[in-house]
Amino acid sequence: MSEMQQYVQDVLDLVKKRDPDQVEFQNTVKEVLTTIVPVLEENPKYKAAKLLERMVEPERIVTFRVPWTDDKGEVQVNRGYRVQMNSAIGPYKGGLRFHPSVNLSILKFLAFEQVFKNSLTTLPIGGGKGGSDFDPKGKSDNEVMKFCQSFMTELYRHIGPHVDVPAGDIGVGGREIGFLFGQYKRIRDAYDSAVLTGKGLTYGGSLTRTEATGYGLLYFVKNMLDSKNISLEGKTVVISGAGNVAIYAIQKAQEFGAKVVTCSDSNGYVYDPNGINLDVVKQIKEVERGRIKEYVNRVQGAEYHEGCRGVWTVKCDIALPCATQSEIDLDSAKTLAANGCKVVGEGANMPSTLEAIQYFLDNKILFAPAKAANAGGVAVSALEMSQNSERLSWTFEEVDERLKGIMKNIYENAKKYAEKFGDPDNLVMGSNCAGFVKVAEAMMAQGLV
Ligand code: NDP
Ligand code: 2IT
């Protein structure tokens, strides 16, 4: 083992020793640190400055009680969090997740990913993540509002346009951001537009933000495929999820001429051999907030299968996981490959396990890693902050053009580092190195903080 490999191993051991239960966090730290060894070898000063030890320790974590009353008048108590991971290159930036599975390990993993993802966008944003174990499923609008108001009544003291700028993630979309913004404004008694992103268009939101993560994923994948002279036209695509990321990934994939045959939620997946009818999905998920199995009652020839993992058994050329972490394990990765899948692009955060990623790389499946491929959402969030500062709104076309440019730049930067360190198709290594370098240099310049 080289000196820097040993350094990385020591830091991984430290992370495990400090928080033995935080498996998701340990995995993402491992994914990043084991791939940046070549950068550490070029810069021994990072080890001397204990840079990795500092990076794996969040700058600040807040957890808080969120009490609220449901429609029956019963008291409910949830737990709220904000992990402020790294502010070297800008205010903490990253989404809020409302899902019963939320815990500190998941939020630390998401915040750690966010630091390098945000760096890749080239925009001045640090990394953070937050959320709650609140489950929005089955709750009325009134209950969601009460929860959001209580959540913000504590969170407001930790955020601000120059401090920390949350946005959406699983379970947090336009409705929740609206309630959160209203309560923040009421408490602060000031119109700080850029305290949250993903806002509605009537109060400081940016055109294209809703579409940005899904569109950005397809722009990234298209760049990757163009470099191999592969067209998206006529390709069969399997997508998981039916939320914000999945819906706009389906839309852009279809615009590029691909045939998307699946979508899913946590209960099961839909297979539509004629190609997913996106209007029906939008009606079910965005308007009715219903379950995806409804799809088969409205579209002839479509099938519904219980269990979301089954989606990876559907034959495809391209797989785009857009639901949640660890949805593709080694078995699913092998099944995809055996069925002829040649390309995987991650719309969700860490949807492939470490073993699945290694399998894709070893088997020459073109792999677009999450922190590069899904960075379009946060990139347009940063553009929303720019528009708020200017007190101007850009057109859809202008934001979309910038998004395309940002995704191309991320792809090229990741590719550049992958080539530099001798593994040209390994965009996991390439994007980790590219994202890491900027954060590392900013931290070095700012002294021991
Ligand atoms: P949404 O809440 O809009 O949609 C999430 C989708 O994934 C739903 O279909 C949901 O099904 C499904 N899902 C959630 N949890 C699970 C689970 N444990 N098992 C199976 N399916 C599940 O979230 P987003 O679309 O915003 O987020 C999807 C992914 O993309 C997440 O990993 C998120 O971190 C990532 N991401 C989001 C960005 C954004 O801008 N929104 C930006 C970059 C990444 P159900 O309705 O049954 O819960
Ligand atoms: O994972 C992510 O990048 C997001 N959920 C978006 C974060 C943001 O600040 O827009």
Average pLDDT over residues 174-194: 98
Domain 212-364, classified CATH 3.40.50.410, yes or no = no
Tens of pLDDT, residues 349-388: 999 999 999 999 999 999 999 999 999 999 999 999 999 9
Q: Give the list of residues 6+ apart from residue 363 with CB closer than 8 angstroms, or none.
A: 337
Does the CB atom of residue 94 touch ligand 1 within 6 A? no
Assigned superfamily of 1-57+426-449: Glutamate Dehydrogenase, chain A, domain 3 (1.10.285.10)
Cα–Cα distance, 373 to 193 (Å, whole number): 27
Q: Which helix (H) or strand (E) holds 236?
A: strand 236-239
Between vectors from CA 112 to CA 198 and to CA 59, what angle results, nearest 5°?
95
Beta strands in 287-389 (DSSP E): 303-306, 318-320, 343-345, 366-368
Take atom 10 of ligand 2 and give the residue whose Cα is closest. Answer: 378
Cα–Cα distance, 432 to 144 (Å, whole number): 37
pLDDT at 179: 98
**For residue 27, what pLDDT band results from cuts at 50, 70 and 90?**
very high
* Ligand 2 pocket: which of 102, 107, 113, 114 to mutate (most atoms within 8 A of CB): 114
pLDDT at 92: 99
**For residue 28, what pLDDT band results from cuts at 50, 70 and 90?**
very high
Is residue 164 within 8 A of residue 94, CB to CB? The reply is no
Question: Residue ranges per domain, the chain?
Answer: 1-57+426-449, 60-195, 212-364
Catalytic residues: 129
Q: Do domains 60-195 and 212-364 have the same CATH topology?
A: yes
Q: Which residue has the tokens 């579409």?
A: 211
Atom number of ligand 2 nearest to Cα 209: 10
pLDDT at 165: 99
Interior/surface letters 316-347, b for 16+ CB within 10 angstroms, e for the rest: bbbbbbbbbbbbbbeebbebbbeeebbbbbbb
Average pLDDT over residues 143-158: 98
* Ligand 2 pocket: which of 121, 378, 385 to mutate (most atoms within 8 A of CB): 378
pLDDT at 248: 98
CA of 78 from ligand 2 middle (Å) equals 22
pLDDT at 301: 97
Atom number of ligand 1 nearest to Cα 171: 2
Average pLDDT over residues 58-64: 98
C-alpha of 376 from chain center: 9
Tens of pLDDT, residues 92-102: 999 999 999 99
CA of 44 from ligand 1 middle (Å) equals 39
Of residues 89, 39, 28, the one with CA closest to residue 434: 39
**For residue 133, what pLDDT band results from cuts at 50, 70 and 90?**
very high
Tens of pLDDT, residues 307-333: 999 999 999 999 999 999 999 999 999
Amino acid at 394: W
**For residue 242, what pLDDT band results from cuts at 50, 70 and 90?**
very high
**For residue 389, what pLDDT band results from cuts at 50, 70 and 90?**
very high
Residue 327 has φ and ψ, to the nearest 5°, of: -85, -20
Amino acid at 291: R
Average pLDDT over residues 14-42: 98
CA of 369 from ligand 2 middle (Å) equals 15
CATH number of 60-195: 3.40.50.10860
pLDDT at 96: 99
**Neighbour order of strands in the sheet with 127-132:** 60-69, 75-86, 127-132, 92-98, 164-167
pLDDT at 35: 98
CA of 266 from ligand 1 middle (Å) equals 9
Take atom 11 of ligand 1 and give the residue whose Cα is closest. Answer: 265
Average pLDDT over residues 219-228: 98
Beta strand 127-132 pairing with 75-86: antiparallel
**For residue 182, what pLDDT band results from cuts at 50, 70 and 90?**
very high
Tens of pLDDT, residues 264-309: 999 999 999 999 999 999 999 999 999 999 999 999 999 999 999 9
Average pLDDT across the chain, whole number: 98
Tens of pLDDT, residues 71-107: 999 999 999 999 999 999 999 999 999 999 999 999 9
Is residue 263 within 8 A of residue 251, CB to CB? The reply is no
DSSP letter (8 states) at residue 172? B
pLDDT at 216: 99
- Counting residues of the chain whose pLDDT is more than 90, the rounded percentage is 100
Atom number of ligand 1 nearest to Cα 241: 9
pLDDT at 302: 98
